[in-house]
Amino acid sequence: MGKTCTDLFAGIDCTVIGNADEEVGGIAYRSDRVQPGDAFFCIVGLTADGHSFAQDAIDRGAKVLVVERKVYLADATDVTEVVVADTRKAMAAASANFYDHPSKDFSLVGITGTNGKTTTTYLVEHIAHVAGKRTGVIGTVGVRIGGAAEKTAHTTPESPDLQQLLARMRDERCDVVAMEVSSHALDLERTWGTTFAVTAFSNLTQDHLDYHHTFEAYFEAKARLFSKDYPAKRVICIDDKWGKELLRRCSTNEDSIVTTGFDTSAQIHPVDVRYAPTHTTVELDVRGSRYRFDYPLVGRFNVENVMCAFGIGLQLGFSPSVIVEALEEAPQIPGRLERVSVSCDGGVSVFVDYAHTPDALEKALASIMALTRGRTICVFGCGGDRDASKRSIMGKAALAADFAVVTSDNPRHEDPLAIIDDIVGGMGAGQGRFAVEPDRRAAIALALAHAKPDDSVLIAGKGHEDYQLVGDEVLSFDDRVVAAEELNRAFGGLLDDADAAVTLADPYGQASGEN
């Protein structure tokens, strides 16, 4: 499949210097991945300028350079240059052109917000599946196309990768695709040129301020998905001021909107909620009609996710009865309040959750405390090379537990002990109620050593991840597997490897066993 420059840049404001009929065989944004015949987009990044790699791209066979300023190279005489104002935005639009705008061929749901995106995408996928649709999912946990899973590098892939993925989903005849849309993706134009059927907002709490710097800038990045740049039906949780502001803007634009939330003015809101250790019973008011049902997820924040998914289902045209039927058998989401089950746990309940923001940690702890007869113990840390301002706030949030163990998360290129010091700086009021153990396995073992029957342990921060990032190393580490091993070590006596296996959640009912 190829496109001429004229076709590739249709609808894009640009100046073509050279052969407008030059055929492009692919799109590249890294010079080391250029294939002969590609168009190379010189992206001006946060740490490097792609214009500096133009010669390398030509040496590898690039026939078209897309630039923000003309590049003068001795070897570029037979290379077509396309000058644009913004290479990122042009790359996204050209990628959509290259793959013939695949998002127009199915219903694409874009979900944004700080917390709840992953769970909501999987709930939407399940609703669509029960409705008889072929589905796809794109997000933090990875990609699924019609039930086949694969990993991705970003929550929302770079625009050429995203459009290629959407094209695969089109070719696999997907009807509904649910995608997490990150603030980075919106700010970096990864989704530009993509057509959404529905966009949804969950909430906004502190995260990524190392990148966005202010809450306002963080919000405005998310809000782009609800602007005229991305026309669609909307689902908006109005429980915080940011959701209410989105509602105001979308109402001004006369968008089709379904509001959700505990706020009784929301079109979908709970009338009654009863929490249990294995499920939740909820009665929802949905535009004046009442629906009472059980679903196998726990915690208040999952009520928010269920309401959001319900609203998306309505905007996709599914009947309330089909939505309720699907939610009653909702899948366990990988690493989202996922319970670790072993044959002998000493009466201690262990949950693994991806909570890596102060708000998410508070909500996860509150949910577990509401289900726990005894004490709640928390194991957590903070990632390196990320928003350092939230570390002390995370430390303070963890004090909601009866006891906390501060440990290493994904330190990346930072000193783990320095990260821990930042966290402990917010825990001054909790002297005697927390311990520090930098080794994550040892920290999990320490938490279990403190636990007694009827206690619960929350291992927070990494969720579904099966690795730990230390410097340039990617170490094998899965909180769920390690917790199962330590549970067996603490309460199960001498067991063989087969007895120590843990069943990991698969949202599609296909369990995988790991030691």
Query: Over the stretch 426-453, which tens digit does the pLDDT of each residue have?
Result: 999 888 999 999 999 999 999 999 999 9
Q: Global pTM?
A: 0.83
| Residue 72 domain flag | yes
Q: Do 205 and 83 share a structural domain? A: no
Q: Is 116 marked as binding a ligand?
A: yes
Q: Do 398 and 278 share a structural domain? A: no
Residue 513 binned pLDDT confidence (cut-offs 50, 70, 90)? very low
- Average pLDDT in the 389-395 region? 94
| Residue 333 domain flag | no
Instruction: Indicate the length of the chain as a whole number.
Output: 515
| pLDDT at residue 515 is higher than 50 | no
Q: Is 302 marked as binding a ligand?
A: no
Q: Do 94 and 133 share a structural domain? A: no
Decide: 238 and 259 in contact? Cβ < 8 Å. yes
CATH number at residue 284: 3.40.1190.10
Q: Do 292 and 221 share a structural domain? A: yes
DSSP, res 33: G
| pLDDT at residue 506 is higher than 70 | no
Q: Is 254 marked as binding a ligand?
A: no
| Euclidean distance between CA atoms 166 and 172, whole angstroms | 10
Q: Is 409 marked as binding a ligand?
A: yes
| pLDDT at residue 494 is higher than 50 | no
CA angle 491, 496, 498 (to 5 degrees): 105
Q: Is 26 marked as binding a ligand?
A: no
Q: Do 410 and 506 share a structural domain? A: yes
Q: Which of 71-80, 155-164, 328-337 has the lowest mean pLDDT?
A: 71-80
| Residue 409 domain flag | yes
| Residue 16 domain flag | yes
**How many other CB atoms sit within 10 Å of the CB of residue 150?**
9
Q: Do 360 and 342 share a structural domain? A: yes
CATH number at residue 463: 3.90.190.20
Amino acid type, 411: P
Q: Which of 29, 64, 98 is a domain's end point?
A: 98
Q: Do 351 and 267 share a structural domain? A: no
How does pLDDT run across 342-365, given as a tens digit for each residue?
989 999 999 999 999 898 899 899
Range of the domain at 404: 338-514
pLDDT for 312 equals 98
Residue 345's alpha-carbon distances to 194, 341, 348, 350, 483, in angstroms, are 48, 8, 6, 9, 10
Q: Is 440 marked as binding a ligand?
A: no
- Average pLDDT in the 403-416 region? 97
Q: Is 113 marked as binding a ligand?
A: yes
> What residues form DSSP beta bridges with 329?
none
Q: Which of 328, 360, 392 is a domain's end point?
A: 328
Q: Is 488 marked as binding a ligand?
A: no
Q: What domain count does the chain have?
A: 3
CATH number at residue 42: 3.40.1390.10
Q: At what angle do helices 320-328 and 300-315 cross, to 10 degrees?
A: 140
| pLDDT at residue 239 is higher than 70 | yes
Residue 136's alpha-carbon distances to 102, 146, 170, 509, in angstroms, are 13, 6, 10, 16
Residue 314's alpha-carbon distances to 26, 103, 298, in angstroms, are 38, 20, 23
Q: Do 361 and 315 share a structural domain? A: no
- Average pLDDT in the 402-425 region? 97
Q: Nearest to residue 73, comparing CAs of 85, 87, 56?
A: 56
Q: Is 357 marked as binding a ligand?
A: no
Q: Do 507 and 450 share a structural domain? A: yes
Q: Is 305 marked as binding a ligand?
A: no
Q: Do 308 and 342 share a structural domain? A: no
- Pair type for strands 338-339 and 349-353: antiparallel
Q: Do 445 and 421 share a structural domain? A: yes
Q: Do 233 and 152 share a structural domain? A: yes
Q: Which of 309, 328, 347 is a domain's end point?
A: 328
Q: Is 155 marked as binding a ligand?
A: yes
